[in-house]
Amino acid sequence: MLTRRTVAANLLKTCAAAALARDFPVAAEAKATISLNLAQTAPIEVPPNFTGLGYEMSSVATPDLLSSRNRRYVELVRGLGPEGVLRVGGIVANYTRYIPDGPAQFDRQNTVITLAAVQRFAAFLKEIGWSAIWSVNLAQGAISDAIDEARAVFAALGPRLLALEIGNEVDSYGKGQPFRPPSYDYVAYRKEYGDWHAAIARAVPGMRFAAPDTARSVEWVEQMASDAGGEVQLLATHYYRNGQARGSAEQLVAADPRLDDVLARLRAASRQSGIPWRMCEMNSFSGGGRPGVSDTFLGALWTLNVMLLLAQSGCAGVNLETGVNQLGFVSSYSPIQDDGKGVNSAGVPYYGMLAFAAAFAGCHQMFPVDTRSQSDTLHSYVLGAQGKPRSVVIVNMDPAVDVQISAVNLGMKDATVLRLAAPAADNKTDVTLGGAQVDENGRWKARSRERISGGYVGVSHSSAALLLRSYT
């Protein structure tokens, strides 16, 4: 059995001198055999639109990006599931204006959304079958402008508008951003939010709202859940493992105690209030990710693992940030890349999202696993439907230790195995799922469909395996 001490020793020996993923070792230690058993808890429901992508508001204004004519992009998003949520907002939302007749602009600190851009975005959502969360500018905007924008978005998107956000990362308005005085706290925000919400709700009957959309503060989310009073239909916050300059490969390998605390508190707030919560902006390291870490196979493994962790924690959905960030360049962590010439492709983290989609297909429940026999770097998840397991995902983040898994006690003696793999954790080009890569048209189809009988499967270090009861 793996122990915390063994794992810690392995990490110290292999990663102590490494700040980036390229320093991960390739030699493996002997396999350990671990039998999976379900915990004695009820299954957790997972919404069909759990998967999501997040964008700066400038992406909506960019011609032919989020457009039904961008066929590669359409296929890339469709590949992540038949339902999902695009969240448009980000820091650029603090510098965005809605001017119906334009001209459109998509600068990071001067974005103009036109009616044509809203309608183009609506057509894109219809093409992919997803819905959206839309942000209005509380930081520097006016209520009257927000009403005009909300009315236009509600009319264009219709039922595909999941919710409207009033403000982005509002807990930061008085901390380093020039939008509010340093004394700006939840009480001041809540009064301001209430005024904006009342005005928009009167002008646009039927509008749904997501709040408070904090950068980090769990307290504000808990307070909003407590006093929402019907003004909020979705609780929203953000998460990054760390900032770009302070990020490292080791941080993606190891569990984040802060995230564990955040998930427990958000789940409790959601249960007590009856309001679902969504991690509406998330990725590895803020500021665009850590080059050499976020854009490697390790980033794909982390993406898969954190999505499954959130689903198992009762989260209603997660929006992985992608594309051009608030600093004006394509982030290292982006699931969907952009060459600056209108050509989009699957980034390495996309494969983590793709693996989640493959495991989640036909499922709507998570079954918590008894993890007492597992290490801190081995993660197992069971997904299913109608109370029965249908797929198992094993994410082995350990840089040196291979494992053997038994799924016999889950009733998975016979299964198809899809492997999320690469030659090394720091690889950027040879990542595959089921032996295949996403093609130039944005489509993926497995080439390698390993069959197991007896319920045992080996999972190499720095890799993941999906055990599927059936595969189509």
* pLDDT tens-digit series, residues 299-346: 999 999 999 999 999 999 999 999 999 999 999 999 999 998 889 999
H-type helices in 181-243, by residue range?
186-203, 218-227
48-360 belongs to which CATH class? alpha beta
Q: Strands 209-214 and 234-243: what pairing? A: parallel
Q: Does the pLDDT of residue 371 top 90, yes or no? A: no
Q: Does the pLDDT of residue 15 top 80, yes or no? A: no
Range(s) within the chain of domains with CATH label 3.20.20.80: 48-360
Q: Are 82 and 356 in contact (CB under 8 A)?
A: no
105 exposure class (CB count in 10 Å sphere: 0-12, 13-18, 19+): middle
Element (H, E) at 117: helix 115-128
Q: What is the pLDDT of residues 151-179, one digit of tens each?
A: 999 999 999 999 999 999 999 999 977 89
DSSP characters over 99-112 = -TT---EEETTEEE
Which residues, in sequence order, are CB contacts of 2 under 8 Å at separation 6+?
32, 34, 374, 375, 378, 401, 403
Question: Rounded mean pLDDT of 365-385?
Answer: 91
For residue 116, the 8-state DSSP code is H
According to DSSP, the residues that pair with 465 across neighbouring strands are 394, 419
Structure tokens at 445: 């189809």
CA atoms within 13 A on the CB side of 182: 1
Between 225 and 469, the more confident residue is: 225
> Of the candidates 308, 260, 269, which has an alpha carbon nearest to the alpha carbon of residue 466?
308
Q: Strands of 96-98's sheet, edge to edge?
A: 96-98, 110-113, 105-107
pLDDT at position 470: 52
Question: Rounded mean pLDDT of 11-29?
Answer: 36
3-state secondary structure of 15: helix
Cα dihedral sign, 105-106-111-113 = positive
pLDDT at position 33: 81
Between CA 77 and CA 124 the distance in angstroms is: 10
DSSP characters over 406-423 = E-GGGT-SEEEEEEEE-S
Q: What mean pLDDT is reported for the chain?
A: 92
How far, CA to CA in Å, does 422 sit from each of 269, 344, 401, 444?
A: 39, 22, 16, 16
Q: Does the pLDDT of residue 22 top 70, yes or no? A: no
> Of the candidates 117, 186, 195, which has an alpha carbon nearest to the alpha carbon of residue 157?
117
CA 202 to chain centre: 32
Q: What is the pLDDT of residues 284-301, one digit of tens each?
A: 999 999 999 999 999 999
Range(s) within the chain of domains with CATH label 2.60.40.1180: 4-43+363-468
Q: Does the pLDDT of residue 378 top 80, yes or no? A: yes
Q: Are 315 and 45 in contact (CB under 8 A)?
A: no
Between CA 69 and CA 78 the distance in angstroms is: 14
Structure tokens at 420: 């999320």
Q: Helices 218-227 and 257-273: crossing angle, nearest 10°?
A: 0
Q: Which CATH architecture group holds 4-43+363-468?
A: Sandwich (2.60)
> Of the candidates 174, 188, 232, which has an alpha carbon nearest to the alpha carbon of residue 208?
232
Amino acid at 38: L
Q: Does the pLDDT of residue 9 top 50, yes or no? A: no
3-state secondary structure of 38: strand
Between 216 and 9, the more confident residue is: 216
3-state secondary structure of 223: helix
Long-range contacts of 339-342 (CB under 8 A, 24+ apart): 342/64, 342/70
Between CA 34 and CA 381 the distance in angstroms is: 13
pLDDT at position 10: 40
pLDDT at position 329: 93
pLDDT tier for residue 237 given thresholds of 50, 70 and 90:
very high
